[in-house]
Amino acid sequence: MISNRARNSFDQMLMLGIKASMGGTSPETCEVEVVADLNSIRETNVVMLTVASFLFRISVLVYFSSDDATRNHFAAVNNVAPVDMNDQAFLDAIRECGNICCGTLNRELARVYPHVAMSTPNIIERECVNHLESLNGGHLQHFRASTVGDKLFHVTLCVREYADIDFEWAMLEEATAAGEMEFF
């Protein structure tokens, strides 16, 4: 069983990752909200990543389509001219977006669970997501992220637990040292 505190913590960690990956250099411009189900998700492809521990396996799915608005968004996030965003560069940008999103989740989980690992991103068809319910995960949540220019993205979090999970996460305050180096 996954406690409500842990569910909320998983959601907050992923929302932090979504903002970091979708907002580019301005994560504060990305708004994230929970959506009830997959019915509002229209994107045709998904990049899927996994974060695993001895106690759980998390699947993170970032939905996307190969339309001009999506390509332009990722070109801007990567400081590339849209005309230079060929198919391979676009898929690489989507995979990197998944890496950043899931990497943030992985980093924050490592503060609570010492043994976590993250997979490489895989591109799958949208129809594969329809089978998430059959995994009988302890927590399934869908998110909508809106970015500058009103581009919408969707992300799904699916947590399957192998033992009881209960923790409460709080984001660390970032150090605000300006230009100082730390020597060890």
Q: What is the pLDDT of residues 58-69, one digit of tens each?
A: 999 999 888 888
Q: Which residues contact 176 (CB under 8 A, 6 or more apart)?
A: none
Domains and CATH numbers, the chain: 4-23+31-161 (3.40.1550.10)
- Does 184 score more than 60 pLDDT? no
Residue where the block lists tokens 């842990």:
6
Reported as a single tens digit per residue, the pLDDT across 21-36 is: 887 666 677 888 898 8
User: pLDDT: is 108 or 172 the higher one?
Assistant: 108
Q: Are strands 45-52 and 117-118 parallel, antiparallel or unpaired?
A: antiparallel
Q: Please name the residue that has the structure tokens 């504060």.
A: 28
Task: Work out the mean pLDDT of the chain and round it to a whole number.
Answer: 84
Statement: residue 52 has pLDDT above 90: yes
Please give the pLDDT value at position 68. 86
In angstroms, rounded to a whole number, what is the distance separating the alpha carbons of residues 38 and 127?
11
Angle subtended at Cα 117 by Cα 18 and Cα 120, rounded to the nearest 5 degrees? 65
Q: Which tens digits make up the pLDDT trace of 94-133?
A: 899 889 889 999 999 999 898 999 999 999 988 888 787 7
Average pLDDT, integer, range 142-149: 83
Look at the chain and count its residues: 184
